[in-house]
Structure 1
């Protein structure tokens, strides 16, 4: 971690209830990534990364479970446009969350503590919302079903215990990946490079071979055809699809803290979470910002262009491809089977149908892709729950920092084990897709809260980093779009929905 400031420590206030931000120059991208020149090769090798972690989570439950389930039951028209709007709004939202991280080096969960009335409300509430939304473990449970089928050559019966044991084993694998890492974010990036490449390339080849061109066209056309939602689709199902297309709607901020660990902007000055094999590193409990002068204005523009490249070129493009390829394969499977999937069999529906039509080889390929998709999601989400809680505790509790000797790993790993035990219990309580659908609708709750908090924070950044007026409009649209689905879900949960389809 680079020096924060010189001997004379200038500070500036931002918000309430948190320490003032220290002031230092923005680093150059070359300084942050330790390269002489940031060309195309260096861009791919060193700068791209946080978007891959987000994409690894993105190509998951929405793309392999909820999206294909909706398309398999109701077709593309009336479903596809919800997917496109959700992905567009979420990518804009991701950029705005990351804007704050780059300008201050603070993880969003700590930043929320600067919003009135203060950290004592927003930091614990934010941690609770993330854990409440994602602790269900539906991705691990669904992946466990896929592993069972890979081992036995057939899908498990409803309520079988062995798939749940495989799910727990996959959670243990996440612990091992972070434990052997020198830098946890880097380990996640490299793992997702492998997983995402395998998923997209394999799906593309399988779809080109097995899916007729008319289904390809139906899928692409469905994204850009505004239409009423299909008759009979439930409020929870459509809200879950909106929430888990791309990432997690209003809760996407829980992943954007990786830009700090990657060293984007002022994140280079504030530290990162290291693994057990890495050096002991301190994560500053409060952020650092930059002065408004010509030098830093120019540097900010460079960093912002890198952020846009990472988010739109990798995350958005990958998320749309990651939704198209599984859904058209599902559509082909429904065409073959003559019926759609159910909540109970959607994790392995495509593999079973393709096995009957094309043989065991395609069956195992489809299962392997499904397991990788769902594991990449669980990898990111499980680690993120631990990361958010660690950042929050380290940021607001001087007593904890003294107890752990300013080494966040001493909190990170014990909490990860505790969370693993909790998820292992919860995945025994419901069908995997039911757990995922609940999580997706809970993520929409964040859209009622965090866009407005982000507007408050970003409006107080150094002038070069502040959003333009139309960025605020996009954040309001996030509130309206995802907030509608959450309110409809809640009303439907307790009675009749506000809107039926």
Structure 2
């Protein structure tokens, strides 16, 4: 491959136009500061990890993790959580590496993998839609809203919680429609929700959870042990898939680094809200020449990415799993009962009501709604974003039809999804829907790590991964891929393993 300094453009992969060349910007230029110190880092640079974390502290942490721990305990379950979080955070970094180096979001980048975009772009969009359109995250939030409004837990099969779930989808539409820059609005919303969630859970846990349970929860993360008797590999696969984020489909959130302006994302543009001005969004990305100055800038951007992902996302995801699970374990101790698929979204609130009164009942419900709504906000918007980015980048006819303004596709498609999800919500319990989504996410781990290896190996030299990065991408395939294969085996007949 020719050195990029010898070229005016850089052909990466197949079937898509070559990337144009431009210098990487300095972080200070992007964030509009004289010096990027700790204060500026928190105020301006951290952001995409919070959107991912808002999704992360959700279905896995409030539904699947607490249900598994509530039924089976920490040992044999906790290590699955830790391994999943480590592998997913690393995978997130590798997905984001491509975004920073090219200004292209992953769904567009997949179109550069042989045989080309006619296969991989539609397949990628379909997998994201198929995995998340079930709406379990929305149904769970709707149950919490019902309990919050009526002061009692909803009966099984009640219609009103579904109406609340649909109403919260409309709230997501309102948040994005009122934004000048959609990604920034999501960041600010998640700053508020994630901080409130973690502080609220910490205070409740300090108040009611004894030290022994804290230690049992922490020890469970680091104790290799066989899964507990009675748990199914499908349950473990759902827990692994939705711990941290969404295993092999995590890439669907990493496009926010482009809109934040990280690396070459600053040159590529972003999707603005209805209140913002029309912004150009390049259909083809931009990369940087392989020279000393750009290499130094790349290292700065990569360090920012590592700080955002490992310092915020990973730490937050582990706390987001520990705090709800030890709270659930305490609720099981106090009540002598175990959560079921039907009542897990509001189980803790019901126990706290009996043991400590109405105040903690409402606090738990508010936290549950915030947790599941932050997930709902991120997932729902990301489905719209992925489809918009894919259509805008690959269809000149669409770009002409919408006059180069992706908002003219983004918002009508969001309204269409609201209608479709509103129908699907009526067909299954929230936890069943979430388990389906999580195991479908594991399917992505059999596909996208290999595609990422291909793309990242062809980036400009300073941005390419080291050899051990490929080994860890392979570990993602083995770990999450096993759970998906088992899920399919269980779905059509007998699971591969039983405990």
The TM tier, using the shorter chain, reads over 0.9
- Which residue pairs with 1:156 in the alignment? 154
2:472 corresponds to which residue? 474
List per-residue Cα deviations over 1:378-402 (Å, max 9, x = no partner). Answer: 0000000000000000000000000
The CA deviation at 1:9 is: 8.7
SS of the residue aligned with 2:426? coil
- TM-score with structure 1 setting the length: 0.98
1:430-445 alignment, distance < 5 Å: 430-445=428-443
List runs of 5+ in structure 2 lacking aligned partners: 1-5
Equivalent residue for 2:132?
Answer: 134
Aligned to 1:447: 445
Which residue in the other structure is 1:351 paired with?
Answer: 349
1:137/1:423 contact within 8 Å kept: yes
Pair 1:194-2:196 in alignment? no
Structure 1 residue 49 displacement after superposition: 0.2
Distance in 2 between residues matched to 1:339 and 1:82, nearest whole Å: 24
The answer as to whether partners of 1:9 and 1:22 remain within 8 angstroms in 2 is: no
Say whether 1:77 aligns with 2:75: yes
For residues 434 and 387 of structure 1, the distance between their equivalents in structure 2, rounded to whole angstroms, comes to 25
- Matched pairs, number: 494
Residue number in structure 2 paired with 1:324: 322
SS at match of 1:53: helix
Describe how 1:209-220 pairs up with structure 2 within 5 A: 209-220=207-218
**Alignment partners' CA distance in 1, 2:487 and 2:480:** 11
Does residue 487 (structure 1) correspond to residue 478 (structure 2)? The answer is: no
Aligned to 2:362: 364
Secondary structure of 2:28's aligned partner: helix
Q: Over residues 214-250 of structure 1, what are the superposed CA-to-partner deviations in whole Å (9 max), with x where a residue is unaligned?
A: 0000000000000001111012211000000000000
Farther-moved stretch of structure 1 (141-150 vs 66-75)? 141-150
2:258 corresponds, among 260, 263, 282, to 260
Would the aligned equivalents of 1:77 and 1:230 in 2 still touch at CA under 8 Å? Answer: yes
Q: Which residue of 2 aligns with 1:241?
A: 239
Q: Is the 8 A contact 1:250 1:445 kept in 2?
A: yes
Match of 1:377 in 2: 375
CA contact (8 A) 1:61 1:436 kept: yes
User: Which residue in the other structure is 1:285 paired with?
Assistant: 283
Indicate conservation of the 8 Å contact 1:451/1:478, yes or no: yes
Cα distance in 2, alignment partners of residues 194 and 132 from structure 1: 30
Q: Matched residue of 2:434: which SS?
A: helix
CA distance in 2, matches of 1:494, 1:228: 25
Partner of 1:53: 51
Structure 2 counterpart of 1:42: 40
Where do 4+ consecutive residues of structure 1 move more than 2 Å? none
Partner of 1:408: 406
What is the TM-score when the length of structure 2 is the normalising length?
Answer: 0.98
**TM-superposition CA deviations, 1:157-188 (whole Å, max 9, x none):** 11101100000000000000000000000000
Q: Secondary structure at the match of 2:71?
A: helix
Shift of 1:69: 0.1
2-side partners of 1:440 and 1:43: how far apart?
Answer: 33
SS of residue paired to 1:154 = coil
Task: Report the alpha carbon displacement of residue 114 of structure 1 after superposing the two structures with TM.
Answer: 0.1
